[in-house]
Amino acid sequence: MCDICSATPPGPSRRSVLVGGLAALAASLPLGALGSEDSVDPESALQRLLDGNARYASGTRANTDFSVGRAQRALTQRPFAAILSCADSRVSPELAFDQGPGDLFVVRLAGNFVSEDGLASLEYAVNFLGTRLIMVLGHSNCGAVDAAIKVVRDKVELPGHLPEMLREINPAAETVLAAGGDILGTAITENVRLGVQSLATSQPSLAPRVGAGDVQVVGAVYDLATGRVGLA
């Protein structure tokens, strides 16, 4: 932490402010939207994602008119899966899984790592929207993971806030560089694996639900060239 930051009087963290805001928002939701009893179970949710990706990859998408059901969707939302995706412009979860508006709760940031704010958003989906499947979605040729490798291996210095962001991806790069082989491909998978582990063991919200088998966290990698998603 820099001198200016450490001199700032202590106050509520961004996460506590966000979670507090989400709790207030949830209080305004109908009670029926908060339970998981009528939500999609994790196994069925994963199958829906994989089936949708098969349609997308083969050019037979079913969801092409996003205006269908728009007025009904204004009343509430029940996304059947949450996706933690990279912000890469070539990766679009709604398209890649052939889903319509309201189906997926998507959190995106370069490198698809677990940030505090991203975690809070995913907790919101699980606890207040009834989402029971979380997928951490990496992708081939990820520039953020590649940058982390260059920072760790070549000591490249990046401008602005990028070093702070890459600090979250560097552990994957460090592990893979020590092992050798397909460094970028393996680091992308390792970064996804670390994300899954971080979410599945996250206290106090997600870990108990995962431990009870009520919520599942899975990892996957999207191939830019084929459009296919493979579980990681």
Per CB under 5 A, residues contacting Zn ion are 86, 88, 142, 144
Among residues 40 and 148, whose Cβ is nearest to Zn ion? 148
CB of 70 or CB of 90, closer to Zn ion = 90
Kindly state the smallest distance separating residue 90's Cβ from Zn ion, in Å. 9
Amino acid at 108: R
How far is residue 57's CA from residue 153's CA, in Å, rounded to a whole number? 35
Cβ neighbors of 69 (< 8 A, separation 6 or more) are 100, 101, 102
The HSE-up count of residue 163 (CA atoms within 13 Å, CB side) is 8
Q: How far apart are CA 100 and CA 97, in angstroms?
A: 9
Question: Which residue, 104 or 142, has its beta carbon nearer to Zn ion?
Answer: 142
- Rounded to the nearest 10 degrees, the angle between the axes of helix 143-154 and helix 170-179 is 70
Residue 207: which residues within 8 A CB-CB, separation 6 or more? 200, 201
- Whichever of 61 and 108 has its CB closer to Zn ion, that residue is 108
Nearer residue to Zn ion within complex by CB, 82 or 142: 142
Q: Shortest distance, CB of residue 86 to Zn ion, whole angstroms?
A: 3
Query: In terms of CB distance, is 22 or 184 closer to Zn ion?
Result: 184
Q: What is the rounded CA–CA span in Å between residue 187 and residue 177?
A: 8
- Do the beta carbons of residue 34 and residue 26 sit within 8 Å? yes
User: Which has the closest alpha carbon to 138: 110, 166, 163, 179?
Assistant: 110
In the complex, the smallest distance separating the C-beta of residue 56 from Zn ion, rounded to whole angstroms, is 18
Q: Closest approach of Cβ 139 to Zn ion, in Å?
A: 6
d(CA 109, CA 92): 12
Instruction: Calculate Rg over the CA atoms of the chain.
Output: 19
* Closest distance to Zn ion from the beta carbon of 193 (Å): 16
Residue closer to Zn ion by CB (options 82, 188) is: 188
Q: Considering the complex, what minimum distance in angstroms separates the CB of residue 112 from Zn ion?
A: 7
| Residue matched to tokens 């949708």 | 52
Q: Least distance to Zn ion from the beta carbon of 42, Å?
A: 25
